[in-house]
Structure 1
Amino acid sequence: MKNKIKSALLCAFAVLFLGACAGSQPEVYDYSAFLQTKPRSIVVMMPTSDSAEIKASAAVLANALYPLSEAGYYVFSPALVNETFKNNGIYDAGEIAQISTYKLKQIFGADAALYLNVADYGTSYMLISSVTRVSVAATLVDLNTGAVLWQKSATAANDSGDGGGNLIGMLVSALVKQIADSVSDASFDLSARADAILFSTDCRDCLLYGPYSPRYGQDRQLGGGK
């Protein structure tokens, strides 16, 4: 009788364990539209922003170019892109985001457009601490069909630390960080980190390598590479 009970308990444990393992498996990202389109060139739109910080959009845009190029894509010059919009009387990022994919294709001839939104940018100060955070969301759209090829969001943050665990130390630490952040643009540096995370490669929902990368077609999340 005891052996039967033990066997039943072991079976139940095995079922629960295997079920938990199966439930913890990450969802497979759908790259079907991306693989069908195979974009080579990307025009990056001026980022929209939910932040009150006026530097947010420009900082995120500037720091997006390097990781996108490193991933293997031809990226249109943001200066030329924005100058084109200005020459047509369009200055606001929100208005730019409303331009049809058909029109963007006509103007730039790019394969895809990248839309960015800055959800958070800047430093929040509290009594004994401060946190600098940059959060960015990206959507890559096929300019031929209007289909969404890829989406992802990323956040980079740092805080002022605990000051050694005592109140005076925490106050001093927060004050020092506030002064340092007022002298240097900590958020700009964090936007580079956020963009690097956002456009990283070889992970479950990462951007696929472009045709100008030596690792094109070898994405680990698709079973390629080493």
Structure 2
Amino acid sequence: MRTIRMLASGSLLSVALLASACVSGPAPKNYAAFRSENPRSVLVVPALNATVNVDAADYFVSTISMPIAERGYYVFPAHMVKRLLEEQGLSDAGLVHQADASRFAPLFGCDSVMFVEIKKWESQYIVLSTSTNVEFEYTLKSCRTGQTLWSDTQAMSYSPRASNSGNPLADLIAQAIVSALEKAKPNYIPLTQQANLLATHTVGQGLPAGPYLSEQHGQDQSQFPIQ
């Protein structure tokens, strides 16, 4: 699990991560099962929310489709997926995550299913510091065999810092204000977007290029190897 403190903008962090992924970080995952299945589409089912924040799953679903699509896969519309699952008696995310992945193929014509569990979605206030934390566990399974094709975990934290004016008392007050504002309205969405981007785009750890990235599809074995 990789925990990153977000101190820069999302785009800068993404560029830095992707540029350095080939020269540092964990060893590449084994993509043998993924390559064998060669999925073209991804069905993202409602996230399983293991936190006390009842809105976490709804916020999360608004952030996950784009990064998967950017990797070259067709992603089924989230609201359509939720509606059809409800019609099948799968309105509860817990029931969805207990179902065999092969069950979804006849319903949607999908190749793979993305299950995400929200492990952490919280904002903690300690003295004059607020820390907003998210953690997600991603699992992509084959709709044909039910086999896990890919998995990843991302945890991220953000602690706002007031600028240093050189006046200790003023800086203390400013820090108290920015921490209180973060506590009142935690900055979950940028953190979640970054976590999803890291999970799906990191070389050797994320998703290999899909068929809708035609110039890269099947040409990135060295970055996403079969071991």
Tell me whether the two structures share a fold, i.e. TM-score over 0.5. yes
Q: Tell me the distance in 1 between the aligned counterparts of 2:201 and 2:110.
A: 22
Corresponding residue number in structure 1 for 2:57: 57
The answer as to 2:187 corresponding to 1:158 is no
Question: CA shift at 1:200, angstroms?
Answer: 1.1
Corresponding residue number in structure 2 for 1:9: none
Q: Which has the higher helix share?
A: 1
Corresponding residue number in structure 1 for 2:192: 191
Q: 1:199 to 1:167 in 2, by over 3 A?
A: farther
Cα deviation, 1:44-74, whole Å, max 9, x if unaligned, reads 0111122211221122221011111010000
Alignment-mate amino acid for residue 176 of structure 1: V
Matches within 5 A, 1:169-188: 169-170=171-172, 172-180=174-182, 182-183=184-185, 186-188=187-189
CA RMSD of aligned residues (A): 2.4
Q: Which has the higher contact order (CA 8 A, sep 6+)?
A: 2
Matches within 5 A, 1:110-129: 110-129=110-129
Q: 1:63 to 1:197 in 2, by over 3 A?
A: same
TM-score normalised over the length of structure 1: 0.79
3-state DSSP class of the match of 2:217? coil
Q: Tell me the distance in 1 between the aligned counterparts of 2:25 and 2:54.
A: 40
Matches within 5 A, 1:52-91: 52-91=52-91
CA contact 2:116–2:138 (8 Å) conserved in 1: yes
CA contact 1:129–1:170 (8 Å) conserved in 2: no
Cα deviation, 1:60-111, whole Å, max 9, x if unaligned, reads 2210111110100000111011001122332211111112222211211100
Alignment-mate amino acid for residue 199 of structure 2: L
Q: What is the number of equivalent residue pairs in this alignment? A: 198
Q: Please identify the structure whose Cα radius of gyration is greater.
A: 1
Q: Tell me the distance in 2 between the aligned counterparts of 1:64 and 1:101.
A: 19
Listed as ranges, the gaps of 5+ residues in structure 2 are 1-23
Q: Tell me the distance in 1 between the aligned counterparts of 2:35 and 2:55.
A: 35
- Give the stretch that moved more between structures: 51-60 or 153-162: 153-162
% identity of equivalent residues: 26
Listed as ranges, the gaps of 5+ residues in structure 1 are 1-23
Corresponding residue number in structure 1 for 2:38: 38
Question: CA shift at 1:180, angstroms?
Answer: 4.7
CA contact 1:60–1:195 (8 Å) conserved in 2: no
Q: Tell me the distance in 2 between the aligned counterparts of 1:207 and 1:92.
A: 27
Corresponding residue number in structure 2 for 1:7: none
